[in-house]
Structure 1
């Protein structure tokens, strides 16, 4: 699990094809990896990857065709900036929101406009994901925990303060760029519960009676 609070902006050192998949080498730009072991998870622009090698400059991870096709990692090239966050520890502060690192889909930057010292960003997501996005709810974009300002169909807006722009890969993003989207996991669980999928009607009735709703 992650928090969506970016620790450093790294860069893709190289992408090495391996038997149809890719081994991704990441320069972590001084991120302290002393507490990271082989097999640990690191979020790369919101994608949870497993460290298979570690060295003084960074780490490498194997990326499957599935991940390459469903995230922006398949579009990256050497030198591209990426947001990095080490996996959450139980003693860490939860400054953002609970992020799994399992990308739900790829969205697109629609516009960036000044708003005082901040910036208003508009994104568009596949219609299948729009249902999970709500005003004042949480959204994870390229691994960054953000608050949704407004929603209009498949488009939504967020506000980025100068610190966020300067300390994440958003400083390199432009309208038209693709971004990784992870919706709030709570929204998915709520939908599952409300749909009753996989549940027995008798169990649902018993639950309602137990809690005074039937």
Structure 2
């Protein structure tokens, strides 16, 4: 499990592609790899992957074709940066909300506003997923637990403070970029339960 509190950025050193499998080689901040072992879980842009090899502050991860097709990891190239979070341990503070590291869908950046001392990002999501997205609810974007701002038929926005921009890759996003989205599990459970009882939420609502 993860908490949605991004611990920093890792840099892609190389992507080794083979049929049906890609190996991502990333350099992490030196103080963030203490205690990492083969088999450890790390969320990269919100996608839970397993450490397969370690060389100092460099970690290796394998991603199958299914993962590449459902997330933005297949778009990564040498020099890119990703948000990372190591798996939560018992007793860790949950500063965001509980995440599984299983990406539900991707979203496209449609607009960016930069008022003084913050930034507002707008995302377009496949409409089938909008029924789980509510103003002031939780959502994870590239592994970061965020509070949803406003919602339309197929978009939502989030407001980011300078600290979030400093720690994450959000400051480098541009219109047209894709991001990974994990829906809040509690919200999904409630919406699906109500739907089974006949209280469907209209997708355009």
| Structure 2 length-normalised TM | 0.92
Specify the SS of the correspondent of 1:25. Answer: strand
CA deviation after TM superposition for structure 1 residue 191, in Å: 2.9
- Structure possessing the higher radius of gyration over alpha carbons: 1
CA deviation after TM superposition for structure 1 residue 195, in Å: 3.8
Matched, 1:27 2:22: no
C-alpha distance in structure 1 between counterparts of 2:31 and 2:15, whole Å:
20
Partner of 2:183: 183
Q: Which runs of 5+ in 2 are unaligned?
A: 198-205
Q: Which runs of 5+ in 1 are unaligned?
A: 198-214
CA deviation after TM superposition for structure 1 residue 37, in Å: 1.6
| Structure 1 length-normalised TM | 0.88
Work out whether residues 109 and 176 of structure 2, in 8 Å CA contact, stay in contact via their aligned partners in 1: yes
Matches within 5 A, 1:36-51: 36-51=36-51
C-alpha distance in structure 2 between counterparts of 1:190 and 1:105, whole Å:
19
- Of 61-70 and 111-120, more deviation after overlay is shown by 111-120
Partner of 1:7: 7
C-alpha distance in structure 1 between counterparts of 2:8 and 2:189, whole Å:
30
Partner of 1:193: 193
Partner of 1:78: 78
Matches within 5 A, 1:86-105: 86-105=86-105
Moved over 6 A (4+): none
Work out whether residues 8 and 31 of structure 1, in 8 Å CA contact, stay in contact via their aligned partners in 2: no
C-alpha distance in structure 2 between counterparts of 1:79 and 1:28, whole Å:
13
Matches within 5 A, 1:74-153: 74-153=74-153
CA deviation after TM superposition for structure 1 residue 61, in Å: 1.0
Work out whether residues 16 and 23 of structure 2, in 8 Å CA contact, stay in contact via their aligned partners in 1: yes
Partner of 1:160: 160
Matches within 5 A, 1:163-174: 163-174=163-174
Specify the SS of the correspondent of 1:90. Answer: coil
Q: Cα deviations across residues 157-196 of structure 1 (Å, max 9, x unaligned)?
A: 1100011112101121111100001110112211333344
Work out whether residues 44 and 85 of structure 2, in 8 Å CA contact, stay in contact via their aligned partners in 1: yes
